[in-house]
Amino acid sequence: EEEEEEDEPTTEEGWVRKLMQQQEQLNQLRAGISAVQNQVEEEEEDEVEEEEAREREMLETLQRKRAELSALLGAKARLEQQLADEQESYDEPAPSPQEMAIDAEVERAMAEDDEEAMEEDDDGDDVFVRPSNSEEAHTLMHILERRRQAQAAVAEQEDKIAELTALQTSLRRRLAMMEAGEEEAEEEEKEEEE
């Protein structure tokens, strides 16, 4: 206390000098506090900007994934429609009574031709000999050719359906992988928020 009393000025001029020094120290402290506050605010602003940039980037990624998912769902819907259309064209309608009558007549004619065309070979066995010029033989060949073409068309349709089914399975697998990726991204977002 004695030292403080000794340091205290004794004149008015000394008091003024001391007040000026204290005023200067106070201004320096205020400037230091202001600088620290400015630095903290700048760091907070930088952190906020970085966080906003990360959020924008994640949002853009999610939007791209959503668009890709939407495109895949559209492709899936188109493939399913195409499969349904092809399945409808593949399913043959029930034959009309007129078609059934024609088929029965063809079967009867073929049976008659078969009986007429059977001959015994050298061993005594019955063998089929194709009629050469008969009208029934010509009709039969025409029918057989149409059946062969129909069977080829059916086989081609079955191949297409198999390809489309494989493509649909592949698209479903890819869609499931994309959905799993989105769930992981959402979980990472939640973890980061916590």
pLDDT single digits (tens) 138-167:
777 778 888 888 888 888 888 889 899 889
DSSP run (H or E) holding 62: helix 12-90
Q: CB under 8 Å to 17, separation ≥6 — which residues?
A: 9
Arithmetic mean of pLDDT, 113-125: 58
Task: Measure CA of the first residue to CA of the last residue in the chain; give whole Å.
Answer: 55
DSSP 118-143: EEE-TTS-EEE---SS-HHHHHHHHH
Does residue 74 carry a pLDDT above 70?
yes
Q: CB under 8 Å to 109, separation ≥6 — which residues?
A: 136, 139, 140
- Report percent pLDDT > 70 for the chain: 72
Length of the chain, in residues: 194
- Most confident range (mean pLDDT) of 55-59, 107-111, 131-135 is 55-59
pLDDT at 1: 46
Q: ∠ CA(143), CA(145), CA(147), 5° rounding?
A: 70
Tokens of 163: 């390809």
Across the chain, mean pLDDT equals 79
